[in-house]
């Protein structure tokens, strides 16, 4: 694995903060020439460190104010079940993250929906697609911290 120096990390920090900045703005902020900055960003993209540049949206303003964490347990642990589960969850836009867990819990799903009725539709859709042993849900009452930025 290639080591990334302080300059690379400063570039990445700037891009995490605001990926819409121009090359001139980034290079000025990190005190590097525009061409050198462009070459480093290009290398970071080629290395797969930068995987995408996206816009972050306000879910409340888009009517998606309820975050739910679904705790999933299954009695099926064979590859066919996992493939079905993976395809189902990847195809559902409300689901933002799916994680295979250690311990008593098999999978954790993070999703955004409008309200409890939206959660029920998501739940019904998921159990129609995949056989699950147990599903429980926890609803976020307050987001204290939410970030996409990695600690550099």
Angle between helices 23-30 and 34-46 (to 10 degrees): 100
Which tokens is 93 given?
């836009």
Please check the confidence at residue 120 and state whether its pLDDT lies above 90: yes
Average pLDDT over residues 21-47: 97
**Count of other CB atoms within 10 angstroms of residue 89:** 20
For 74, half-sphere exposure in the C-beta direction (CA atoms, 13 angstrom radius) is 20
For 151, half-sphere exposure in the C-beta direction (CA atoms, 13 angstrom radius) is 0
Q: Residue 70's closest CA among 139, 129, 116?
A: 139
CATH 1.10.10 fits 7-46, yes or no: yes
CATH topology assigned to domain 60-139: Alpha-Beta Plaits (3.30.70)
Domain boundaries defined on the chain: 7-46, 60-139
Per-residue model confidence (pLDDT) at position 91? 98
Per-residue model confidence (pLDDT) at position 104? 92
Q: What percentage of residues in the chain have a pLDDT greater than 90? A: 97
Question: Can you list the positions of beta strands (E) in the chain?
Answer: 66-73, 95-100, 107-113, 134-139
Please check the confidence at residue 9 and state whether its pLDDT lies above 80: yes
Please check the confidence at residue 2 and state whether its pLDDT lies above 90: no
Q: What is the pLDDT of residues 66-95, one digit of tens each?
A: 999 999 999 998 999 999 999 999 999 999
56: confidence class by pLDDT, cuts 50, 70, 90:
very high
Per-residue model confidence (pLDDT) at position 62? 98
Per-residue model confidence (pLDDT) at position 1? 74
pTM equals 0.90
Average pLDDT over residues 55-64: 96
């Amino acid at each position: 694995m290639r080591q990334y120096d302080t300059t690379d990390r400063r570039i990445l920090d700037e891009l995490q903060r605001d990926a819409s900045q121009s090359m001139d703005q980034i290079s000025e902020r990190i005190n590097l020439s525009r061409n050198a900055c462009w070459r480093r960003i290009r290398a970071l993209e080629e290395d797969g460190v930068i995987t995408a540049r996206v816009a972050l949206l306000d879910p409340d303003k888009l009517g998606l104010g309820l975050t739910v964490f679904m705790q999933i347990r299954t009695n099926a642990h064979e590859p066919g079940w996992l493939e079905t589960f993976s395809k189902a969850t990847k195809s559902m836009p409300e689901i933002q993250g799916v994680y295979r867990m250690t311990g008593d819990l098999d999978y954790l799903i993070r999703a955004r929906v409008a309200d409890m009725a939206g959660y029920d539709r998501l739940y019904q859709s998921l159990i129609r697609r995949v056989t699950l042993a147990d599903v429980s849900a926890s609803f976020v009452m307050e987001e204290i911290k939410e970030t996409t930025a990695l600690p550099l």
